[in-house]
Amino acid sequence: MQTSVTPTHCPYCALQCGMNLTPAQEGGVTVVERPDFPVNRGALCGKGRTAPAVLSSRVRLTSPLVRKDGVLRPASWEEALDRTAEGLARTRAKHGPDACGIFGGGGLTNEKAYALGKFARVVLGTSQIDYNGRFCMSSAAAAGNRAFGLDRGLPFPLEDIPRTGCVVLVGSNLAETMPPALRYLTELKENGGRLIVVDPRRTRTAEQADLHLAPRPGTDLALALGLLHLVVAEGRTDEEYIRERTTGWEEARAAAMAHWPEHVERITGVSVPELREAVRLFCEPEHAMVLTARGPEQQAKGTDTVGAWINLCLATGRAGRPLSGYGCLTGQGNGQGGREHGQKADQLPGYRSLTDPEARRHVAEVWGVDPDALPGPGRSAYELLDALGGDVRTLLLMGSNPVVSAPRAAHVEERIRALDFLAVCDVVLSETAELADVVLPVTQWAEETGTTTSLEGRVLLRRRAITPPDGVRTDLHVLHGLASRLGAEKGFPADPEEVFEELRRASAGGIADYSGITYRRLAEENGVFWPCPAPRGTTGGEEAPPAGTLDAPAASPAVHPGTPRLFLDRFATEDGRARFAPVSHRPIAEEPDAEYPVLLTTGRVVAQYQSGAQTRRVDELNAAAPGPFVELHPRLAERLGAAEGDPVAVVSRRGRAVAPARITTTIRPDTVFMPFHWPGEGRANTLTNPALDPTSRMPEFKACAVRVEAVRG
């Protein structure tokens, strides 16, 4: 066991808070503060503090499992890998490569995401790969690419937030989802800045706001357009900025002017005085920011909704300037890096497009294959899950639990059960792993070295602190073993630093250029912001130190410093200008009616994380958040005859969920809220609508029509 302090990062959300690990007397590790890391400055939420609990053999998998006679039984690694390779090979031979699917996760390290995408396209030759990060910030990514030519969660570091004049926080409850980040909003207000929170619930974060706007779920697009209308009407646009740094303003302005304040009030429920006050607070300071999260993004019009908020920033000159801009608060630990390097259906490493001939040529050369041999784009996440048991007969799944986390979850569970073969790599026996033919137990954050990319675009190094239990291997070992069994003897090393060196070469010259980043640098610095190209005249791999030199001195001062702040000189478009999006409001995919008169919105609670597969195994977190609930307004509860704690049923066109009532005035009377961390009868995603955004293919998690019923007896 290692005896020194190991600096590393939390395994959960995209803040990637710094922490130190020290050996525990009873074995394993203990989390202690790491105040030198600038993002959290030592602060941790309950999930981060208790993360070592999931390392315990009491709650995690320590042996491969293979289904025999309908029951998962312990097996050797050789048998488990043989069975998995045979399942993939059999399907490919009988039905073709696209009958093999790959589903990844936003918690996988950059090395794993890169190797998984390469495995899909080079070894299997399948286009059918996507990941659960599609459910996280794909709408913001699509809108950012459309407007700026580049998608990075935050184009500026978090440290800029307290120094701006106003922050509009749209659809984010940082107090519950990223508690250490709440200090940035507190410091903003201490510095005299203003906070506007847009959320249909009066959350703990909204309680901190100078102005809380509570729109009807699914109407954020109309709200943003109404604010832009007022900006124009009140003469608050920055005409010089619009003229010099943007294109498409006339069309966007015309679309916004069709959303006059009284019309927007009827759509959203936000009053005209509140709209005017929001415009005043946002426009009066010299600097301001808009930050979006899942609220406006997880909609069937999420790309346009985020685009409308970006329009507001552009029209007021609040993008590509110091202490101003638009940013997205990425959710999953490596949601950013996970899509940058190849596990998204339409992307190659370096955030390259899979349809770009030059991108295909570059990556194929690094991989040593013919560019024409690379498959084209495949299905998006929900569409891939929906195809299981049909066109897609076999699935390899890493680091995701779609039985709980996917929309229309009961249907997704049916499709998973219809597969010919399912192999799952996970640290615990999740609800999805319980359905597998083979379960492969893999290492966790403290047991392996690898990189992640935070919501700031800061590439970070997680370092191995302890030895994993016998019987547990890394995901890279899994891919190495499968690739060799399927005929690829080379190209899939199990050493993460070796994988990262290849990732550097593959990303060189791409939008997300990591070629100037090395493990050596990451060990010395508190992360490096991409893009960070290698020095001119070199390629990514030529600047690499020898493997195993994490603590060597930093490289030559000629190395690129990284890019904490994007767009200060120009945007990443061909002409260097940002593009307005001419968008208009449209209704949600499923409006309430007489049969389903209430809106459901979903979200998270502070003590649980995502599908809860890991956090539900931690006693302290379960004590704080033991199960699902239905949050509803007293007027709705009175109509139902439901009291606090009574079981109520929420019913949509896709299914029924039952959970205790939590009665509160902090939610709109026409809306109910459910957290989505639990399986079983309280599974919120049984209800949610898989209607997809036409651009991002994001499902509409945040709004669907339901009815609420008291459960008698």
- Consecutive H or E run containing 489: none
Within 10 angstroms of residue 375's Cβ, the number of other Cβ atoms is 17
pLDDT on residue 28 = 86
pLDDT on residue 537 = 63
pLDDT on residue 555 = 42
How far, in Å, CA of 642 to CA of 638, rounded?
A: 6
User: In terms of C-beta density within 10 A (0-12 exposed, 13-18 middle, 19 or more buried), how is residue 219 classed?
Assistant: buried
Q: How many CA atoms lie within 13 A of 243 on its CB side?
A: 3
pLDDT on residue 574 = 96
Domain 598-710 sits in CATH at 2.40.40.20
Fold agreement (138-329, 598-710): no
CA proximity to 555, closest of 527, 518, 513, 530:
518
CA distances to 109, 226, 350, 451, 502 from 341, rounded to whole Å, are: 10, 37, 6, 12, 11
320 backbone φψ class: left, alpha, beta (φ>0; ψ -120 to 50):
left
- Consecutive H or E run containing 305: helix 302-315
C-beta separation of 407 from 132 below 8 A: no
How far, in Å, CA of 584 to CA of 55, rounded?
A: 49
pLDDT on residue 244 = 98
Domain 138-329 sits in CATH at 3.40.228.10
Those residues with Cβ within 8 angstroms of residue 557's Cβ, 6 or more apart along the chain or in another chain = none
CATH architecture of 65-133+336-440+461-490: 3-Layer(aba) Sandwich (3.40)
CA distances to 611, 636, 651, 683 from 657, rounded to whole Å, are: 16, 17, 7, 6
Q: What is the mean pLDDT of each run of 10 residues along the chain (713 residues)?
A: 81 96 88 95 96 95 97 98 98 98 97 98 98 93 97 96 98 96 97 98 97 97 98 98 98 98 98 98 98 96 98 97 96 89 95 97 98 97 98 97 98 98 98 98 97 97 95 98 96 98 98 97 95 80 40 55 97 98 97 98 96 96 97 97 97 98 97 98 98 97 97 82
How far, in Å, CA of 29 to CA of 87, rounded?
A: 38
pLDDT on residue 419 = 98
Phi, psi (deg, nearest 5) at residue 190:
-60, -30
Collapsed DSSP state (helix, strand, coil) of residue 164: coil
Domain 6-55 sits in CATH at 2.20.25
Query: 62: which 2 tokens?
Result: 């320590």
Write out pLDDT tens, residues 320-374. Answer: 999 999 999 988 889 899 889 999 999 999 999 999 999 999 999 999 999 999 9
Q: Which amino acid is at 424?
A: V
Bridge partners of 212?
197
C-beta separation of 681 from 689 below 8 A: no
Phi, psi (deg, nearest 5) at residue 390:
-110, -105
CA distances to 7, 55, 120, 164, 494 from 465, rounded to whole Å, are: 9, 12, 30, 38, 18
CA distances to 90, 476, 551 from 546, rounded to whole Å, are: 40, 20, 11
pLDDT on residue 712 = 83
C-beta separation of 466 from 1 below 8 A: yes
How far, in Å, CA of 704 to CA of 653, rounded?
A: 9
- Consecutive H or E run containing 572: none
Bridge partners of 659?
648
C-beta separation of 157 from 564 below 8 A: yes
Tally of helices (H runs) and strands (E runs) in the chain:
23, 30
pTM over 0.85, yes/no:
yes
Domain ranges of the chain: 6-55, 65-133+336-440+461-490, 138-329, 598-710
C-alpha 491, offset from chain centre: 28
Write out pLDDT tens, residues 12-57. Answer: 999 999 999 999 877 789 999 999 999 999 999 999 999 999 999 9
pLDDT on residue 52 = 96
